[in-house]
Structure 1
Amino acid sequence: MRTFIFTFLCLLAAYCAAQPFGPTSVKLANATSDSTSCISTADAVLVANGFGQILSNFSTSWGDILIADGYTDQSDSVATLMHSPNLVASDLGKITFGTKESFLAGEKAQPGVPFRLLNTWSSCNAVTFRYVLSPPDFHVQGIAVAEVEEAKKNGTGVGEGSTKWQIKTFYGEFNSAVWLTDLKSSITGCDVNGNVTSNVTVA
């Protein structure tokens, strides 16, 4: 029995040694078929701060530069605000904004909120970042993943070099309870302290 196990482990080790596991294969695994290059660390920071500019100092022209055609956005935090106080389970886990136009129209209607970037990480075609939004008297932490693609139109996208990047898909979550507290006077079902008073059943 011990001889069989030893032989099996030797064969397994030989198989693994023959596989091209290394930095090159990892990079290829992160690449997508429609991308000819990978976003740099510096350009990833530009994308993250660019999204922050949409939140803090919105302009339609900047939105057209940073956001790709065919953009989609998914955020249960935003869905919670949109559907309060009648939020149900079926409101969550869905696309929040299905088009670039609907997203930009939604952001245009919101007051600007100071944005500060905390951390940024990037893979070949995605930027992950942590941030703080600072509405009056609060500091709201959030985290987001922005999938990016090379800009297809001249004059659009951000980047230090000749390759420019736009956000094509966005996933973001933040402390929406702060906004529920701020909006308590206009949401039926919240008391003066911003606590939701409707009955909630926890399974």
Structure 2
Amino acid sequence: MRTSIAAAVCPFMGLVFCTAQPFNNITSKATNNTSTTSCISPADAILIANGFGQILSNFTTSWGDVLIADDYIDQSDSVATLMHSPNVLASDLGKTTFSSKASFLAGEAAQPGVPFSLLNTWSSCDAVTFRYVLSPPGLDVQGIAVAEVVEVAKNETGKGVGEGSQKWQIKTFYGEFNSAVWLTDLKDGIVGCDVSGNVTVAGNETVV
């Protein structure tokens, strides 16, 4: 998600980011959880959401391989908006952002971490929806995501997350966040980087 935004819009050179603690030491306990589930337990929903948060905040290829399914795809108009700003076209939106696990992990590996805080989780038999906050330098960025998951085969040891014998990986990810705030953070927080976007509201152009 933070994805190749930085590379596409402007490098994050010179920024100092807080580093999150490794997910391996995180339990499933979280506040403000409102999950009700018939298949994915509330505890596992939190593990899945926080697991994705670790990819954003404290990326390692080994952890990405544990959490992300081999046939992973990712779609986000928020990311597309930043990547194509300030001239976003209708043809830029609604498309797959990452069409493979390899391209997604490579994009994340190239970016600095951004602190992640989980707000809420909801889950069903095959998906976890969660709200979160990212805290880059500048204003916090709130977002919401739906992670469709698959159960890991029992013979695939070391793959997936889950408190019991049932383990899950993320197969499809849909995520949207406040890209206008993110763009403002880039513009205000990076010395020597000219980041701008034009938003037209009721015929009046506002420069962000």
TM-score with structure 2 setting the length: 0.72
Q: Measure, in 1, the Cα distance between the counterparts of 2:86 and 2:194.
A: 6
The letter for the 1-side match of 2:131 is: R
Q: What is the deviation of 1:111? A: 1.1
Q: Measure, in 1, the Cα distance between the counterparts of 2:147 and 2:57.
A: 17
| Cross-structure match for 1:91 | 92
Q: Measure, in 2, the Cα distance between the counterparts of 1:198 and 1:80.
A: 12
Higher RCO (CA < 8 A, seq sep 6+): 2
Q: What is the deviation of 1:186? A: 3.7
| Cross-structure match for 1:166 | 169
Identify which of 169, 180, 183 aligns with 2:183: 180
Q: Measure, in 2, the Cα distance between the counterparts of 1:48 and 1:67.
A: 12
Q: Measure, in 1, the Cα distance between the counterparts of 2:63 and 2:84.
A: 28
| Cross-structure match for 2:13 | none
Which 4+ runs in 1 deviate beyond 2 A? Answer: 182-188, 196-202
Q: Measure, in 1, the Cα distance between the counterparts of 2:62 and 2:75.
A: 22
| Cross-structure match for 2:16 | none
Unmatched segments (≥5 aa) in structure 2? 1-37, 204-208
Q: Measure, in 1, the Cα distance between the counterparts of 2:160 and 2:199.
A: 45
The letter for the 2-side match of 1:155 is: G
| Cross-structure match for 1:74 | 75
Counterpart contact for 2:136–2:185, Cα < 8 Å = no
- 5 Å-filtered alignment, 1:19-168, equals 38-152=39-153, 153-168=156-171
Percent of aligned pairs with the same amino acid = 77
Deviations 1:88-127 (A, max 9, x none): 1100001100000111111111110110000000001100
| Cross-structure match for 1:34 | none
Q: Measure, in 1, the Cα distance between the counterparts of 2:76 and 2:202.
A: 23
Higher mean alpha-carbon deviation, 133-142 vs 60-69, is at 133-142
Q: What is the deviation of 1:38? A: 2.4
Tell me how many residue pairs correspond in the alignment. Answer: 160
TM-score with structure 1 setting the length: 0.73
Counterpart contact for 2:86–2:198, Cα < 8 Å = no
Q: What is the CA RMSD across the aligned residues, in angstroms?
A: 2.0
Query: Which has the larger helix fraction?
Result: 1
Q: What is the deviation of 1:183? A: 3.0
Larger Rg: 1
Q: Measure, in 2, the Cα distance between the counterparts of 1:144 and 1:150.
A: 19
